[in-house]
């Protein structure tokens, strides 16, 4: 190789080396690529393992549902969103879990705190149907989910599906302007699922009554379970204590009654036995009044398709509303028993409703009703006053008889007094009988006012609610047998009653001192009792006393002449004495008592 060639090779080598030194090549690192590939593969493995775990958990869950619910396993899960149906009076919320009503709001009413009035508490209420399925599994509808089918504004079908295509469904149907709702329990293709030896579906319905009124104590006094035997009478559990009962026959309806509202489940064909009802008081609770519980049976006949027609009533204890259904539902309103209920049904309620149609102020309605009742009783009142006037005229002579026999046999004083009555033609009980005739009205009104929903949350003067107590002063402490407030209507009633007692006291003689003491004690006792009672009732009794004062003044001034009465008595004394059967019985009783006293001596 010549010199130039050698020089050229050296230059080429230097150029190549220099270029590589100045511009080094980018070397691809193989190790990071391998690590990236490893990470991707590991992530794919983790995802596959997660899928396997989820699949495994889901499979285990499905197997668990299958073991627990059998053919109803498809209904073990579902939506938790409530279904709402309503009309112009009621708004019902139905939970897919159990397909049950979890809220029943009455649109025209509010609680005492001006909140929506809801008859059902979601968390503590129960509506469950229990039955046996294949493999003797016990199925509770409250554990399963229902699907909403055919939903409209006022109706919905809630369906609990089985894997064979069969189902159990609830059909809810509200009607416009009605508190009564149609309710059906339908079964389709369950005849091969429910064992042939099981002929009923067991129903349990339980509600914790939410407190909606001013006085929870008064609510408890009027809350209980009512029930009507099929084609028979209405009965109920105790209102004043916890109670339970097993019904002896089929029941047409069972009502969970609050003071002013009720929830009623109705079966015109009758609920099957066994039927049990129970009440439990929530002592110390300010949220719930009582727990009311029903257990009954629905007949199941193992047909491919069956329908059990029922009805729900969610509404007020309004007499005309309840009586319009012709099911004796109005018997849930405690109007008294016997003659007292008769007086309320045929006299007090018609008068009240007649006034209610034209007058909006319920204080004025009670005032006018008081005048009507007192005027209707005026003839009996006049007769009582005349009898009292006769006794007043005879009082000096009776005092002489008592003084004459003061230290002698009191039986002789009694016989002499009876002889005077007979000779004067005076019936000593003449003033009592007319007053006794008024007692049914007084007791009827005693039951009417606290049970009248028309007075609920209706104000008059200082009373904000005539259906409960009025309070003009809230005390920072509680007085035993009185309360922690002052009811002005009750105070006025008590004062007027004491004045009436004072004005009409006809007692005489030391032996009547205890009776006179009792006459003044009773109004004081009423002060404690009525302080927590309906102010409408205290207001009525106060008005009745005031009207009585006016009647007494007018009758004694214009209708009773004591001089004429004395002349009549003197004239009667001169006439031959004619014994009445009553007087003869009194004399015979007096003689027997005298003979018995003589024998003891």
> What is the average per-residue pLDDT within 200-217?
94
Count of alpha carbons within 13 angstroms of residue 361, beta-carbon side: 7
Q: What is the pLDDT of residue 431?
A: 64
Q: What is the pLDDT of residue 499?
A: 87
Which residue has 């099929």 as its token pair?
Answer: 230
> What is the average per-residue pLDDT within 77-86?
94
Nearest to 314 by CA among 268, 269, 256, 259: 256
The rounded percent of the chain whose pLDDT value lies above 70 is 79
When the pLDDT of each residue in the chain is averaged and rounded to a whole number, the result is 83
> What is the average per-residue pLDDT within 431-450?
82
Q: What is the pLDDT of residue 6?
A: 47
C-alpha 497: how far from chain center: 32
Which residue has 């019902």 as its token pair?
Answer: 92
Given a cut of 80, whether residue 29 has pLDDT beyond it is no
CB neighbourhood size of 406 (10 A): 11
Walk me through the domains of the chain, giving residue ranges and CATH numbers.
73-334 (2.70.98.90), 343-464+536-588 (no CATH)
DSSP codes joined into one string, 302-351 = --SEEEEEEEEEEEE--HHHHHTTSSSGGGGS---STHHHHHIIIIIHHH
Q: Between residues 4 and 104, which one has the greater pLDDT?
A: 104
Write the pLDDT tens digit of every residue in 413-434.
777 777 777 776 677 666 666 6
Given a cut of 70, whether residue 569 has pLDDT beyond it is no
Q: What is the pLDDT of residue 40?
A: 44
Rounded to two decimals, the pTM is 0.78
Nearest to 383 by CA among 555, 514, 595: 555
Given a cut of 80, whether residue 388 has pLDDT beyond it is no
Given a cut of 50, whether residue 233 has pLDDT beyond it is yes
Structure tokens at 488: 């002005």
The rounded percent of the chain whose pLDDT value lies above 90 is 52
- Pairwise CA distance, residues 406 & 404, whole Å: 6
CB pairs under 8 A, 24+ apart, for 156-160?
Answer: 156/83, 156/85, 156/94, 158/83, 158/94, 158/96, 158/99, 160/72, 160/75, 160/99
> What is the average per-residue pLDDT within 444-453?
91
């Amino acid at each position: 190789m010549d010199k130039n060639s050698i020089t050229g090779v050296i230059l080429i080598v230097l150029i190549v080396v220099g270029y590589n030194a100045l511009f080094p090549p980018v070397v691809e690192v193989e190790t990071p690529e391998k690590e990236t590939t490893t990470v991707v593969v590991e992530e794919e493995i983790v995802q596959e393992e997660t899928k396997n775990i989820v699949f495994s958990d889901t499979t285990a869950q499905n197997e668990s549902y299958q073991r627990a619910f059998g053919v109803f396993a498809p209904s073990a899960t579902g939506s938790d969103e409530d279904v709402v149906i309503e009309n112009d009076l009621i708004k019902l919320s139905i939970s897919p879990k159990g397909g049950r009503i979890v809220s029943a709001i009455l649109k025209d009413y509010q609680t005492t705190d001006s909140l929506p009035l809801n008859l059902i508490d979601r968390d503590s209420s129960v509506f469950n149907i229990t039955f046996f399925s294949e493999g003797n599994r016990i199925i509770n509808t409250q554990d399963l989910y229902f699907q909403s089918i055919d939903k409209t504004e006022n109706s919905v079908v809630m369906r609990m599906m089985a894997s064979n295509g069969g189902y159990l469904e609830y059909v809810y149907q509200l009607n416009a302007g009605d508190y009564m709702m149609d309710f059906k329990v339908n079964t389709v293709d369950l005849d091969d699922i429910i064992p042939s030896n099981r002929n009923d579906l067991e129903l349990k319905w339980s509600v914790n009554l939410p407190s909606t009124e001013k006085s929870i104590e008064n609510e408890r006094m009027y809350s209980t379970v009512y029930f009507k035997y099929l084609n028979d009478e209405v009965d109920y559990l105790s209102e004043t204590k916890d109670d339970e009962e097993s019904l002896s026959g089929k029941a047409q309806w069972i009502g969970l009654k609050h003071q002013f509202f009720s929830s009623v489940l109705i079966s015109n064909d009758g609920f099957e036995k066994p039927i049990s009802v129970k009440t439990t008081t929530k002592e110390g609770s300010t949220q719930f009044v009582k727990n009311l519980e029903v257990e009954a049976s629905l007949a199941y006949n193992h047909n491919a398709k069956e329908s059990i027609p029922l009805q729900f009533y969610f509404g007020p204890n309004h007499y005309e509303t309840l009586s319009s259904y012709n099911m004796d539902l109005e018997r849930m309103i405690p109007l008294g028993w016997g003659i007292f209920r008769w007086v309320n049904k045929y006299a007090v309620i018609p008068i009240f409703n007649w006034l209610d149609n034209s007058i909006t102020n319920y204080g004025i309605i009670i005032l006018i009703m008081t005048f009507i009742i007192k005027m209707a009783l005026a003839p009996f009142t006049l007769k009582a006053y005349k009898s009292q006037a006769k006794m007043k005229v005879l009082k000096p002579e009776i005092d002489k008889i008592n003084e004459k026999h003061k230290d002698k046999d009191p039986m002789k004083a009694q016989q002499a007094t009876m002889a005077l009555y007979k000779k004067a033609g005076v019936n000593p009980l003449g003033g009592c009988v007319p007053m006794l005739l008024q007692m049914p009205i007084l007791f009827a009104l005693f039951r009417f006012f606290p049970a009248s929903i028309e007075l609920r949350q209706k104000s008059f003067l200082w009373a904000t609610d005539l259906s409960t107590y009025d309070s003009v002063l809230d005390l920072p402490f509680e007085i035993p047998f009185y309360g922690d407030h002052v009811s002005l209507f009750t105070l006025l009633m008590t004062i007027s009653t004491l004045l009436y007692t004072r004005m009409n006291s006809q007692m005489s003689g030391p032996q009547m001192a205890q009776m006179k003491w009792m006459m003044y004690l009773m109004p004081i006792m009423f002060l404690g009792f009525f302080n927590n009672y309906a102010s409408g009732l205290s207001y009525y009794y106060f008005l009745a006393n005031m009207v009585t004062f006016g009647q007494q003044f007018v009758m004694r001034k214009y209708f009773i002449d004591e001089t004429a009465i004395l002349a009549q008595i003197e004239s009667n004394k001169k006439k031959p004495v004619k014994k009445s059967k009553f007087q003869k019985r009194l004399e015979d009783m007096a003689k027997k008592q005298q003979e018995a006293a003589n024998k003891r001596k």
